[in-house]
Structures are given as C-alpha cells and as structure tokens.
C-alpha cells in the first residue's frame, strides 16, 4: 500500500482517478477548505511546498486539476493565456519540481493533460497548447528524475460522466467511462513505466 496525494479529488477527473487508487492510502488535496484533507493552490509555489512539507511522507502525487480558459484564438486575451499557462502548465511543472524534494524513493508523479492536443476543437487552443507542453515535459524530464522516481501523464478523452456538459462541443468524440481512466492512473502509480503519455481514448 502506497501513500498517494490526490489533488482535485472532488472533480470528475479526480473521481475517475480515485476508482484506480483503491489499493492505496489516498490523501486528498484541493483548492477549497471543505471536503479535502489538505488545501493547496497549484499556482502558488509556497502553497505547494507547504502541502508536501506538511504531509511529509508520500509515495505518489496524482494531479487532476489545472484551470484552462476557452475562447477562439483571435479573441483569447493574454490574461486568458497566462491563467492557463500558470495553472495547467507551470502549476503542474512546479508540483514536480517542488515535490521531487519530498517524495519517497521510487515514488511517482502522475499529471493530467487532455486529448484536445491531438484532436483539436474550437475554443480549446490554450488547453491544447499547454497539454502539448506537459506531454512533452513528462517525456523529457523522466530522464532527470532522481532516486527511481517516475513521471507520466494521463491524456484522456471526455468522460462519460461529463458528456452532458461537453458533448455538444465535441462532435464525433466517443466518451469513455471514468473507470477506464482510473485504470490509466492505476497503471501510472502501480507499474514501472515512466516518461509515458497514457492516452485513454475510444
């Protein structure tokens, strides 16, 4: 049994991850005070450091959050770009940069991206671009992880559980059940793979 820090457990993607983490001791963290074991804002370095320092001993970090702004490219402002870059991209990079100082030997990081970087749709250019950045980051930084630490990203298509919200924007996409995405998180945490982008698509 591993101690896993799951960031964003209350979201749909967090719930999907949870379905794959049943064999472990899961500590939850999120932006709100209510409903999580710990509070964390991944865009704030001090908050991230405080989370890892406070928990102290853990074997895996699983992140399922990252704010993205949606707009057509022509209308997306610099502010919208930077909100997305500082959360979904730099927020996740900082989780790894700071987390590697605290995580146990042979631990693992699992980051979240999304299928829109390989299946583009309107309004999602910032989401796609930062997913491309994180998928690349994971593939390249794996070689630099010390003490047997691994890192992967999960790149899922839309969840069945979120299809009522996103389906209209995603013609021709086939949603997948949360439990299938949970398997990807499980494989990242419990296998020996590293530097991989685990796509979950149908």
- Contact set with a second copy (CB under 8 A): 45, 72-74, 76, 78, 81-82, 85, 89-90, 93-94, 97, 100, 116-117, 120, 122, 124-125, 128-137, 139-141, 143-144, 146
Beta carbon of residue 21, minimum distance to a second copy (angstroms, whole number): 26
Closer Cβ to a second copy, 122 or 167, answer by number: 122
In 3D, which of 149, 150, 165 has the Cα closest to residue 198? 150
Closer Cβ to a second copy, 120 or 167, answer by number: 120
Beta carbon of residue 179, minimum distance to a second copy (angstroms, whole number): 28
Closer Cβ to a second copy, 82 or 179, answer by number: 82
SS3 121: coil
Two tokens, residue 124: 């999602």
- Containing 39, the helix (H) or strand (E) segment is strand 38-39
Closer Cβ to a second copy, 37 or 101, answer by number: 101
Closer Cβ to a second copy, 177 or 195, answer by number: 195
SS3 66: coil
Closer Cβ to a second copy, 135 or 186, answer by number: 135
The CA distance from 22 to 147, in Å, is 25
Beta carbon of residue 18, minimum distance to a second copy (angstroms, whole number): 28
Strands 196-200 and 150-156: parallel
Beta carbon of residue 178, minimum distance to a second copy (angstroms, whole number): 26
CA distances in angstroms from 24 to 21, 27, 147, 171, 196, listed in the order given? 6, 9, 21, 37, 22
Q: Are 63 and 16 in contact (CB under 8 A)?
A: no
The radius of gyration of the chain's CA atoms, rounded to the nearest angstrom, is 16
Beta carbon of residue 24, minimum distance to a second copy (angstroms, whole number): 26
The CA distance from 179 to 175, in Å, is 12
Beta carbon of residue 57, minimum distance to a second copy (angstroms, whole number): 20
């Amino acid at each position: 049994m591993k101690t896993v820090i799951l960031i964003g457990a209350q979201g749909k993607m967090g719930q999907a991850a949870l379905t794959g983490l049943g064999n472990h001791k899961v500590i939850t963290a999120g932006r709100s005070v209510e409903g999580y074991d710990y509070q964390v804002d991944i865009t704030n370095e001090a908050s991230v450091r405080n989370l890892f320092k406070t928990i102290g001993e853990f074997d895996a970090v699983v992140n399922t959050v990252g704010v993205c702004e949606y707009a057509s490219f022509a209308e997306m402002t610099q502010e919208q770009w930077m909100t997305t870059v500082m959360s979904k991209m730099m927020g996740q990079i900082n989780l790894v940069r700071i987390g590697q100082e605290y995580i146990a030997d042979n631990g693992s990081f699992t980051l979240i991206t999304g299928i829109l970087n390989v299946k583009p749709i309107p309004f999602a250019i910032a989401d796609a671009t930062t997913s491309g950045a994180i998928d690349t980051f994971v593939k390249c930084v794996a070689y630099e992880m010390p003490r047997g630490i691994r890192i992967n990203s999960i790149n899922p298509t839309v969840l069945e559980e979120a299809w009522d919200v996103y389906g209209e924007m995603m013609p021709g996409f086939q949603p997948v059940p949360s439990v299938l995405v949970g398997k990807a998180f499980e494989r990242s945490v419990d296998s020996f793979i590293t530097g991989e982008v685990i796509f979950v698509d149908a």
